Structure 1
Amino acid sequence: MAATCASANTDSAARALVPHRAIYDLKLKDASERSGIEGMFGRMVYEFTGSACTGFSTNFRLVTKIDTGEETRLSDQQTTTFEDMSARQFHFETKSFTDEQLDRQVSGDASKAESGVKVEITQPDGREIDLPASEFPTGHMLDVINNAKEGKHFFEARVFDGSENGDQALLTTTVIGKQQEPQKDDADADKAGEFSRTPFWPVTIAYFNEAAQGDPMPVYNMSFKLYENGITRDLTMDYGDFTLTGTLSKLEMLDKGPENCSEPR
């Protein structure tokens, strides 16, 4: 019965997710001397489409200009994913550029099995990897929302998102604050349009390398304000040596897929 309820909650949360395109203005909050960064700013575009019936697609682009004091370089990361929750499959493609020159390209497919997650990497080389049981990104976001709605403030999960070389999952710890109403001085609440007065949860997710020994530090932390429909704003991305903040500058709602899974896709 518990498993059935959990499945129903996940399905309900998945149907509540709204397709949207969010644009965030990024700026440097702080940087250690070790980072070699004196200045940094940029923009992030996150596009989320699809439905629980058709699967969910994301198009993500993060462009930053980095000033080291001696030179300025342009970093451009582009990621496309597709997650079919019913088929338990995930496709990922990532391209990273520095000063418009391609540094890295990774693509592949992952599928859940009883024994864990099987990853087939097609770029830059063909190989197969077996990983422990993991959630894919949209499934993990639904877990965050379900835990928030149930008043659970902490949980752990292993997540595979195809990042870096696409060959490892990351351990995550998620801290969820109490649901809040936007305040008058809430910086980017007005950019959330029809959701500007909607309650949200403050969320922080720490990502850890599973292979790290001892008492490891997170690879990075991400904090944000999360709505029940999956929209986020007021981002803080802490990479250890430097921290970026992301302010929602534009939110556009996109067409929603079929609500009834018997409808043609």
Structure 2
Amino acid sequence: MGYTLMHEHIYLDLSKVKNSDDCLLNSFELMVEEFKQLKTLGVERIVDVTNIGMGRNIPYVEQVQLQSGIEIVSATGCYKAPFLPDWFYQQTIEQIAQRFIDEIERGIENNGRKAHIIGEVGSGFEGINPDEHRLLQAAAIAAIETGKFVTTHTSLGRFGEEQLDLFVQMGLNSDRVIIGHTDLAGDRDYLFRLLDRGAYVEFDTIGKLNYQPDELRADLFSQAIKCGYQSQLLLSLDITRKSHLRANGGIGYAYLFEQFIPLLFERGVTEADIEIILQHNPNRILQ
């Protein structure tokens, strides 16, 4: 198995809540072409963290996989408020968890494709609200029951420690949790606190320069590597809009390899480090 991008979206529809057609990611041909290029760069697998309430489209995903030759791993779970499906508010934590478990053990939407990760499940800008609290509890129950990892969304990188606290209180070991969007915090101390607790940390908004300069991302990521945390680090781009695709003027998926990884090399990161982060760590998580 070659490289794996651990936090992407294949078909995503957040357009109604965000009131923007750009948030309907449905550019089939453009995505297939970019994925074919990724194969030439060593990528063989992509984790699609689009789940219930995010416009997940399994037949579409399977066609992208077929046409591009890239293996796509599907996820279960719900995103965060205000994207939670209507049924969420009527069910107990245990019932919500069972939905996630069923998608792992039986398959998604009677399709036969099984989920292999729980996420992205997340929280908002002001903290973990009561609905998101129930969501994360359900994700923890499903993870404990199935042995699958949980991958999270943190708004602007915030409240990853609080997410981890909740999971641990539920009995889920921190080394079964991936804290997403950590690069958006731009905070070295916060990053190292998460790593010291044993969680996986994901820098997955590479190239989104309106949030953070990539030089800062590269500084923090390379410092974590130099301190020996390679086995807890993950990389991805989180392409979520049509405008993010290269043909539409965006950075495109190859940006990670063409622009960001060279910044890491300039800071002393080695090819062996990249292999651990993009190959060995995903293999361990998805086994």
TM-score category (smaller protein): 0.3 to 0.5
What's the TM-score once normalised by structure 1's chain length?
Answer: 0.34
Larger helix fraction of residues? 2
Larger strand fraction of residues? 1
What's the TM-score once normalised by structure 2's chain length?
Answer: 0.32
